[in-house]
């Protein structure tokens, strides 16, 4: 009946707590050095950087609103982010967009809480975080993750005097949203088709690997889009038979790495490389796919990567980056927030595509694709040709015949899938290796 000393127990517990604390940081670490010039904002290294300093820093870029500002009430808008603001992906794109909107909306002030997820903030629920933003005066709250669907709805019902935007959600579409809640999403399907095409153009082995987050209709339709883009370019520009293209997806279980809960994306990426895949296409919020491809490339292997979400994502491995499909939320956020400031808020489900005149126009295009340094000029030209076909509508990749993994028909021969069918994609397509979770 020995008694282990209390000190030992204390050490163990502190160790466990430390482990817990450390465990949550890696999500931010691989991306800790975003290119600051991208957002035009000051470098925001600490992810919990206060909202105020950044607000002050961007104010000088605003037109002097001295005549109106003192009389007008300040319009505070808040954002709840699922990951850190500097993840080089999904969350950074949202953060940059909010700063973009703030700079263009005189009298507005942006506040936020990031890393709202059970690993980083175990005792904080979305509704609670939203409550804090409203306590700080927020009149408009943007939530940026599919995981926030229920919490955003609850908060919107509890605060009918505050406007809510749930990015990537479809509560308005399904009719379950209160009237002060709106939905916004970009048609990343196009960006993913470009990503798949770039991968197929550059791949030697014809073995493409997709680093998937969790499985839901959104992630399934994005994997399908990537595959369709890859297959088209493999067949039509590379003149290879479709069945010689390997396309595999591995899901880690969440939008980013949570040690002990998700698969480790770094590990998955190295496995991809060891299995002989020569392009890693990322579908997760963070940049492990690119980082690992970069390492393997430095070690003498030929591996390319296509990151995701954020326009500057290639910065973490320029030479192996084939390009990045990204969201540009700023322009539409600015419009929606501006309308709300003037009392014109509309609850709607929006799914906005690229500005086909210039998909990389920062002020008009919701979806863009920036080519990476790794893409050869010849392949770049072929990709441009592919994009032009998407742009003029002569090519719709969701045209039948398309079958699901289990052999059932998704789109019959000669027909075209409508928006709802694509939005609610229930399965991966035939030809893709990986779990569908129908």
Partner 1 sequence: MQIQDAGGQLTSRTTYRLADLADYLARLVLPFLGALVLTTVVLLTVDVAPLDAYRILLFGAFSTPIRFGDMVMLASPLILCAGGLTLTFAAGLYNLGIEGQVVLGAIAAMIPLRLFPDLPPPLLWMISFAFGAAGGMIWALLAASLRLGAGVNEIFAGLGLNFLASGIALYLILGPWRREGSASSSGTALLPRELWLPTVGSLRLAPLAPIIALVSLVIVWWVLSRMRWGLEVRAVGLNGAAADRLGVPAVKRMAQAMAGCGLLAGLAGTLQVLGVFHQLIPNISSGVGLIGLLVVLLVLARPIWVLPVAVVFATFTVGSVQLPLTLGIDSSIAGVLQGALVLAALVSRGLMQRRRRA
Residues that bind partner 1 (CB under 8 A): 1, 3-4, 6-7, 9-10, 12-14, 16-17, 20-21, 46, 48-53, 111, 113, 118-119, 121-125, 127-129, 131-133, 135-136, 147, 150, 158, 214-217, 251, 253-254, 258, 260-262, 426, 435, 437-438
- Of 283 and 374, nearer to partner 1 (C-beta) is 283
Residues 45, 35: Cα–Cα separation, whole Å: 11
- Of 71 and 135, nearer to partner 1 (C-beta) is 135
Residue 310 · residue 74 · CB < 8 Å: no
Taking the complex as a whole, the smallest distance from the CB of residue 156 to partner 1 amounts, in Å, to 13
Question: Which of 172, 171, 119, 116 is closest to 144 using CA atoms?
Answer: 116
Taking the complex as a whole, the smallest distance from the CB of residue 181 to partner 1 amounts, in Å, to 17
Residue 115 · residue 124 · CB < 8 Å: no
Residue 94 · residue 165 · CB < 8 Å: no
- Of 67 and 135, nearer to partner 1 (C-beta) is 135
Residue 293 · residue 305 · CB < 8 Å: yes
Q: How many residues are there in the chain?
A: 438
Taking the complex as a whole, the smallest distance from the CB of residue 33 to partner 1 amounts, in Å, to 19
- The backbone torsions φ and ψ at residue 193, rounded to the nearest 5 degrees and listed phi first, read -60, -40
Taking the complex as a whole, the smallest distance from the CB of residue 407 to partner 1 amounts, in Å, to 18
- Of 117 and 287, nearer to partner 1 (C-beta) is 117
Residue 330 · residue 92 · CB < 8 Å: no
Angle subtended at Cα 221 by Cα 433 and Cα 336, rounded to the nearest 5 degrees: 155
Taking the complex as a whole, the smallest distance from the CB of residue 379 to partner 1 amounts, in Å, to 34
- Of 363 and 419, nearer to partner 1 (C-beta) is 419
Taking the complex as a whole, the smallest distance from the CB of residue 351 to partner 1 amounts, in Å, to 19
- Of 38 and 154, nearer to partner 1 (C-beta) is 154
Residues 333, 134: Cα–Cα separation, whole Å: 19
- Of 81 and 273, nearer to partner 1 (C-beta) is 81
DSSP state letters, 102-171: HHHSTTEEEEEE---STTTSTT--HHHHHHHHHHTTEEEEEE--GGGHHHHHHHHHH-TTSEEEEET--H
Taking the complex as a whole, the smallest distance from the CB of residue 372 to partner 1 amounts, in Å, to 29
């Amino acid at each position: 009946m020995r008694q282990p000393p209390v000190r030992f127990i204390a050490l163990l517990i502190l160790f466990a707590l430390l482990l817990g604390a450390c465990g949550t940081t890696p999500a931010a670490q691989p991306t800790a050095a975003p290119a600051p010039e991208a957002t035009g904002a000051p470098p925001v290294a600490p992810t919990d950087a206060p909202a105020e300093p950044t607000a002050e820093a961007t104010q000088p870029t605003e037109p002097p609103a001295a005549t109106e500002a003192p009389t007008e009430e300040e319009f505070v808008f808040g954002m709840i982010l699922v990951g850190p603001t500097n993840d080089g992906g999904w969350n950074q794109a949202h953060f940059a967009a909010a700063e973009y909107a703030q700079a263009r909306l005189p009298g507005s002030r942006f506040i936020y809480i990031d890393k709202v997820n059970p690993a980083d903030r175990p005792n904080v629920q979305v509704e609670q975080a939203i409550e804090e933003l409203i306590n700080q005066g927020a009149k408009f709250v943007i939530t940026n993750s599919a995981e926030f669907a229920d919490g955003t709805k609850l908060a919107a019902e509890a605060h009918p005097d505050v406007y809510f935007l749930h990015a990537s959600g479809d509560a308005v579409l399904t009719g379950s949203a209160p009237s002060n809640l709106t939905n916004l999403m970009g048609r990343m399907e196009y960006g993913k088709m470009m990503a798949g095409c770039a991968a197929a153009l550059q791949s030697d082995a014809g073995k493409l690997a997709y680093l998937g987050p969790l499985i839901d209709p959104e992630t399934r339709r994005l994997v399908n889009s990537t595959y369709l883009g890859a297959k088209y370019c493999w067949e039509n520009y590379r003149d290879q038979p479709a069945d010689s293209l390997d396309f595999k997806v591995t899901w880690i279980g969440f939008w980013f790495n949570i040690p002990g809960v998700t698969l480790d994306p770094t590990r998955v990426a190295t496995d991809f490389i060891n299995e002989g895949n020569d392009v890693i296409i990322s579908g997760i919020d963070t940049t492990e796919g690119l980082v690992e491809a970069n390492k393997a490339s430095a070690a003498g292997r030929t591996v390319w990567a296509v990151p995701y979400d954020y326009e500057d994502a290639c910065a973490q491995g320029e030479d192996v980056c084939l390009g990045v499909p990204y969201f540009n939320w700023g322009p539409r956020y600015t419009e929606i927030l501006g309308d709300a400031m003037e009392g014109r808020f509309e609850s709607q489900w929006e799914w906005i595509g690229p500005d086909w005149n210039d998909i990389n126009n920062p002020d008009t295009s919701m979806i863009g694709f920036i080519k990476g340094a790794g893409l050869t000029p010849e392949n770049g030209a072929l990709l441009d040709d592919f994009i032009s076909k998407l742009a003029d509508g002569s090519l719709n990749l969701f045209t039948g015949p398309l079958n699901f993994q289990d052999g059932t028909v998704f789109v019959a021969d000669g027909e075209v899938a409508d928006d709802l069918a694509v939005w609610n994609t229930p399965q991966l397509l035939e030809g893709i290796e990986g779990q569908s979770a129908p």
